[in-house]
Amino acid sequence: MINKTSSDLIKSFEGCSLKAYKCPAGIWTIGYGTTAAAGVGVIPHEGMKITQAQADHYFNITIEKFSTEVAMLLTRATTQNEFGAFVSLAYNIGLGAFKKSSALRYFNAGDHAKAADAILMWNKAGGKVLAGLTRRRMAERDLFLTESLVVDTHVENRFTVAAPDALRESPAESSTMQAGTIQIVSAAGAGISAVSALSGTAQIVAMAFCGVVVLAALWIMRERLRKWAEGDR
């Protein structure tokens, strides 16, 4: 697992958007720079929205995945900050590009200075140097060169991130949907009781009230299904 300094660095440069957007490369992105290519169970698309809990969850499981993959590519002992800088680089450029990078090659060859400088090469998008990427690469290089404890990354990255309660696999698991169902059943039961026990105006009033409760519950459930379709789970 990367240390907090590394995690904070990634978050600061990625930023967090709870609504899907297209990055400079034209790829749909959400949360802390999460894309479909991350392979963590989310496919950002136009109009999609998520909660902060979901953004944090997607970030954590993406970091878990990238940390594990980066650790498997390293053939030498690494410090926490070196490892964190590499995970940040891979998070941004993709694991495929990181595998082929000279930064990784120099590190595994034992040349830490060249590995640090090679990080700076990844500051272009679409063939153009971007100021934001240049700042990020410099921050990653500085982190890489900052002394910290040596860790066994192959052990450190064997962990599982539990999904927050907000993440569900079907609308039926939503507490809103479950509460709505209970309301409808309760109102129906009350309506039946009203027909049996009351008469005249009192019966009509009771039935009307139960009808309002059912309609309100149905509206709430419809809105929950709409938000579910937009990605709010």
What pLDDT band is residue 155 in, cutting at 50, 70 and 90? Answer: very low
Q: Residue 42 in contact with residue 51, Cβ under 8 Å?
A: no
| Residue 214 CA neighbour count, 13 Å, CB half | 14
Q: What are the tens digits of pLDDT across the range 16-36?
A: 999 999 987 789 999 999 999
Q: What are the tens digits of pLDDT across the range 49-94?
A: 999 999 999 999 999 999 999 999 999 999 999 999 999 999 999 9
Identify the CATH assignment for 52-156 out of 1.10.357.10, 1.10.10.10, 1.10.530.40, 2.60.40.10. Answer: 1.10.530.40
Catalytically annotated residue among 14, 64, 82, 140: 14
Distance CA 214, CA 184 (A): 5
Boundaries of every domain in the chain: 52-156, 171-229
For this structure, is 14 an active site residue? Answer: yes
Of residues 205 and 115, the one with the higher pLDDT is 115
Q: What is the mean pLDDT of residues 81-108?
A: 96
What pLDDT band is residue 2 in, cutting at 50, 70 and 90? Answer: very high
Of residues 155 and 44, the one with the higher pLDDT is 44
